[in-house]
C-alpha cells in the first residue's frame, strides 16, 4: 500500500551509512521490499570499478590509470527476487565482487577523487525516478545531503567481523582473525581518506546494531520513517 509520502509527487530518499558489517545492505534490502522503494547499493558500484580495473590489469592505486576505464564503465542492477543482480560492462558480477580481494581493491579505488567524481552522478541518477533507500558511506553527507531520513548504523568491531565472517565463509576460505584485520583496515581507510570520508551526517540518526537483529533494526527505521512521513 502506498504511504501519503509515496502518493505525493516528491521522491523521498532514505540514506543508510556506516562501516562494513554494520548491517546496512541486509537492512536496506528488507526496508526497500517492505516500503516499496528502489534499493541503491553504492558500495557495489565501487566494487565494480575495482573488478573492472583488475580485469584490465590496471594499478588501482594510480589515478592516471583509471580515466578511460571510468569513461566506458557500465554498471547495471537487475532485480531478481529478493536480490539485485549486478552487471558490470554487461558481465554478471554479483558474487564475484564480494571476494576478500575485491573488498580490499574497492576500498583502495574508493579513496580516489576521479572514481568518486565519476560515480556520484550515477548514484544520484539511480534515485531520480523512484523513492529510494541508498546504502553507502557518504550517502547522507555527499550523495544526498538533503535526504528526507538519514540513518547511521554501527556496531563494535568484533560483532561486525563475526557477521562478515559468516557471510564470507560461505564462498571462500577465510578465518575470523583475518576478516577482523581486514575490516579494521577498511574502517581506517574509509574514515581517514580525504575524499568523502565515512562519517555520520550531523542530522543522521545513530543506531547501534550490536544487540539488535535485522528485524529489530528494520522496524526501528520503519517507525522513524512513519513518524516522519505519515504523522
210: left (phi over 0), alpha (psi -120 to 50) or beta: alpha
The least CB distance from residue 131 to ligand DC, in Å, is 19
- Does residue 43 touch ligand DC according to CB under 6 A? yes
Interface positions, 55-84, toward ligand DC (CB under 6 A): none
Strands of 1-90 (E only): list them: 13-17, 38-41, 75-80, 83-88
Which part of the chain contacts ligand DC (CB under 6 A), choosing from 42-50, 70-78, 206-214, 221-229?
A: 42-50
Stretch of residues binding ligand DC (CB under 6 A), selected from 38-46, 64-72, 165-173, 211-219:
38-46
In the complex, least distance from residue 103 CB atom to ligand DC, rounded to whole angstroms: 7
Q: Which stretch binds ligand DC (CB under 6 A): 40-48, 78-86, 155-163, 211-219?
A: 40-48
Which of 15, 38, 42, 180 is in the footprint of ligand DC by CB under 6 A? 42
What is 156-195 written as a DSSP string?
-HHHHHHHHHHHHTTTS---HHHHHHHHHHHHHHHHH-SS
What is the spatial distance between Cα 15 and Cα 38, in angstroms, rounded to a whole number?
A: 12
Smallest separation, CB 227 to ligand DC (Å)? 26
Lay out the site mask for ligand DC across 184-223 (x = CB under 6 A, - = otherwise): --x---x---------------------------------
Pairing of strands 75-80, 91-92: unpaired
> φ and ψ at 192, to 5 degrees?
-105, -5
Q: Counting contacts by CB under 6 A, is residue 28 touching ligand DC?
A: no
Owner of C-alpha cell 573492472: 52
Find the Cα–Cα–Cα–Cα dihedral 2, 4, 10, 12, rounded to 10°.
Answer: -70
Binding mask 126-155 for ligand DC (x = CB under 6 A): ----------xxxx----------------
Q: Give how far the C-alpha of residue 65 lies from the chain's centroid of Cα atoms, to the nearest Å.
A: 25
Q: Which spans of this chain sit near ligand DC (rule: CB under 6 A)?
A: 20, 42-44, 46-47, 106-107, 110, 136-139, 186, 190
Amino acid at each position: 500500500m502506498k504511504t501519503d509520502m509515496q502518493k505525493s509527487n516528491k521522491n523521498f530518499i532514505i540514506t543508510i551509512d556506516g562501516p562494513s558489517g554494520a548491517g546496512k545492505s541486509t537492512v536496506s534490502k528488507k526496508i526497500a521490499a517492505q516500503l516499496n522503494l528502489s534499493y541503491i547499493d553504492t558500495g557495489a558500484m565501487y566494487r565494480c570499478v575495482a573488478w573492472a580495473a583488475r580485469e584490465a590489469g590496471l594499478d588501482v592505486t594510480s589515478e592516471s590509470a583509471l580515466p578511460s576505464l571510468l569513461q566506458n564503465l557500465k554498471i547495471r542492477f537487475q532485480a531478481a527476487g529478493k536480490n539485485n543482480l549486478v552487471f558490470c560492462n554487461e558481465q554478471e558480477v554479483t558474487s564475484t565482487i564480494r571476494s576478500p580481494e575485491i573488498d580490499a581493491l574497492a576500498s583502495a579505488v574508493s579513496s580516489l577523487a576521479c572514481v568518486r567524481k565519476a560515480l556520484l552522478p550515477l548514484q544520484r541518477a539511480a534515485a531520480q525516478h523512484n523513492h529510494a533507500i541508498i546504502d553507502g558511506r557518504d550517502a547522507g553527507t555527499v550523495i544526498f545531503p538533503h535526504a528526507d531520513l538519514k540513518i547511521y548504523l554501527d556496531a563494535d568491531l568484533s560483532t561486525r567481523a563475526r557477521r562478515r565472517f559468516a557471510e564470507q565463509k560461505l564462498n571462500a576460505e577465510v578465518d575470523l582473525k583475518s576478516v577482523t584485520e581486514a575490516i579494521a583496515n577498511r574502517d581506517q581507510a574509509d574514515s581517514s581518506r580525504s575524499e568523502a570520508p565515512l562519517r555520520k551526517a550531523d542530522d543522521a540518526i545513530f543506531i547501534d546494531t550490536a544487540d539488535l537483529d535485522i528485524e529489530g533494526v528494520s522496524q526501528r527505521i520503519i517507525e522513524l520513517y512513519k513518524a516522519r512521513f505519515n504523522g
